[in-house]
Amino acid sequence: MALFSKDLGIDLGTMFVRIAEGDQIVLQEPTIVAVNMEEELMLAVGEEALGMLGRVTETIEVIRPLQNGVVAYYELTRALLEILLKKVSGPLRIFRPRVMIAHPYDITSVERRAVHEAVLDVIRGGNAQMIPQPLAAALGIDLPIGTPSGNMIVLLGGGCSQAAVLAMHDIVSGETLRQGGLYLDEAIVTYVRRKYGLIIGQPTAEQAKLEIGAAVPQDEEKRIDLQGQDQVTGLPRSFSLTTGEIVEAVQEPLENVFEMVRLVLEKTPPELASDIIDRGIALCGAGALLRGMDKLMTQKLGVPTYLVDNPISCVAEGAVRTIELYPILQRNFPQL
């Protein structure tokens, strides 16, 4: 290891980049960039760029460089990573970090290489390896996955959802659905258009989901006041949504997630499946914070499901831990 080397775990998500060093998160920024298209100039990244969403001129575009967990705009991803990695590690020429990047399970080798190359290009001379996100999450929540017993992780992100059964430091069966929290937001947008004839944007739908939303009906029904644009007249109009309405709106997209988890359980050898019924399914990712999500999954699948203590940070925290474990885990990592 070089004198000034740092070990970093990177969770490059559709909505957020999270970087862990040691046993804690040292950076969390929205995966978003603001670009002046005419001059091909990067104006802002992360939190600052997010603040520009929907409030910019014709020449400025605010872009999410990742879509559904994979790189959609290579150059923008590279530039974003360069800025964020410099923030946590200082001048990259001196501090050549050792990096572990967590990527969604079941993506193509081309998609995986795009992330790997972007990081390698930024940390010139540093070292970068990759780990599937469900494996990183399992290590980040201290699941005993080095044993022959089965453990199951469900990871709900913004752009994708993943389910995996793990044993012997490996993924025994898994699936990735290229739908996440953003898809729930879209379902709320559609619900409001159909029921009230009003158009709202994704950020408004997400705000409603975060403030009053749930996966199952709640004892306390909450209400949120919002503004929409009338479909017919184009004029702004106030309306309100209740918790029950959000529950109704998100059932269909959540059913797709349960279908994916069922598929993984079906593919799992019976001995491991019985371990999972005993131990329960660990629910991770910021999307797991939707109220009652654990309860609904338990009901729908008939397998006890629990929300982990660190659903948001576990992928990056697990990724950084694997740098030391790399010699043991290497055989299970995708070949680049």
Instruction: Give yes or no for a contact between 220 and 249, defined as CB atoms under 8 angstroms apart.
Output: no
Determine the interface stretch with ligand ATP among 86-94, 141-149, 242-250, 287-295 (rule: CB under 6 A). 287-295
Encoding tokens for residue 40? Answer: 């091909």
The nearest distance, CB 279 to Mg ion, in angstroms, is: 23
Is residue 210 involved in binding ligand ATP (CB under 6 A)? yes
| Dist CA 98 CA 123 (whole Å) | 9
Three-class SS of 96-156: CCEEEEEECCCCCHHHHHHHHHHHHHHCCCCEEEEEEHHHHHHHHCCCCCCCCCCEEEEEE
206 interacts with ligand ATP by CB under 6 A: yes
Residue 206 interaction partner, one of ligand ATP, Mg ion, none, beta carbon < 5-8 Å per kind: ligand ATP
Which of residues 180, 228, 253, 318 is near ligand ATP by CB under 6 A? 180
* Segment interacting with ligand ATP, rule: CB under 6 A, options 7-15, 142-150, 234-242, 272-280: 7-15
Q: Is 102 exposed, middle or buried (0-12, 13-18, 19+ CB in 10 A)?
A: buried
Q: Among residues 126 and 285, whose Cβ is nearest to ligand ATP?
A: 285
| Contact positions with ligand ATP (CB under 6 A) in 128-167 | 157-160
Of 16, 3, 19, the residue nearest 122 (C-alpha): 19
Residue 268: CB atoms within 10 A of its CB come to 21
Kindly calculate the radius of gyration of the chain based on its CA atoms and give it in whole angstroms.
21
Q: Measured from the CB of residue 31, what is the shortest distance to Mg ion in angstroms?
A: 10
Q: How many residues bind ligand ATP (CB under 6 A)?
A: 21
Binding mask of the shown chain, residues 227 to 266, with x at each position contacting ligand ATP by CB under 6 A: ----------------------------------------
- Binding letters toward ligand ATP, positions 267-286, x by CB under 6 A: ------------------xx
Q: Which stretch binds ligand ATP (CB under 6 A): 117-125, 140-148, 191-199, 209-217?
A: 209-217
DSSP code for 21? E
Tokens of 304: 């006890």
Least distance (Å) between residue 57 CB and ligand ATP: 27
User: How far apart, in Å, do the first and last CA atoms of the chain sit?
Assistant: 22
Q: Which residues are near Mg ion by CB under 5 A?
A: 13, 157
Pairing of strands 98-103, 7-12: parallel
What residues from 42 to 71 belong to the interface with ligand ATP (CB under 6 A)?
69
Nearer to ligand ATP, 215 or 265 (CB): 215
Question: What is the DSSP-derived secondary structure letter of residue 268?
Answer: S
Q: List residues near ligand ATP by CB under 6 A.
A: 13-16, 69, 157-160, 180-182, 206, 209-210, 213, 285-287, 289-290
